[in-house]
Structure 1
Amino acid sequence: MLLPHVQTLAQARSYLAALADQASTVDASSAYERVLIELDRIHADECPSADTEGLTEDRAVLLAVATSALEELEHYGIDPLTIELVIAMLDDAYALDGT
């Protein structure tokens, strides 16, 4: 994995972890965690750590940045359909979050 791919993946993981940490319900937090697990599975668990230090607490911003980073993964050879499915999982988690 090249550095730009690692940076994009780390960004996606960090924002997903922040969403899970700040979720309004246990169900929403679990749904965000499932998105994170799926992203790790796609990358065969070769993933950089997630760092949520200093990230905004605005879940709408977290969602937008996470979605953007996920979409960018397509440029690094991740199947576009797989990315769309992960984004759909993320949207479902966000809907559970009640925001």
Structure 2
Amino acid sequence: MLRFVLVGAIALTALPVVAQSEKEVSCGYQAEVVAAVRQARLDRVREAKVQETVLAGDPSWPAKFNNAIPLVTPWIYEMPRKDVRDNDLAEVWKEACLAQ
């Protein structure tokens, strides 16, 4: 009986680690999307062509994260270029994502 309780307790304590790991992976992919959009902005890609340009680069993230491109593009394109150039927007995004 004690053995089953101990195994159950270990399993329950491992669950948050797995969930956190999935969240970290998701936030990492989102940060990659932000980095790609940031690079498109720095490369002077027109805002209307960002999704096409980013996807043409054959990104390594899962396809479901392509939906984030039109969501983060306005955020990046509304910033002054100097702020885009001088800040690690992917890291900012990842920290905010992990904090949620």
TM-score normalized by the length of structure 2: 0.38
Indicate the structure with greater helix content: 2
TM-score normalized by the length of structure 1: 0.38
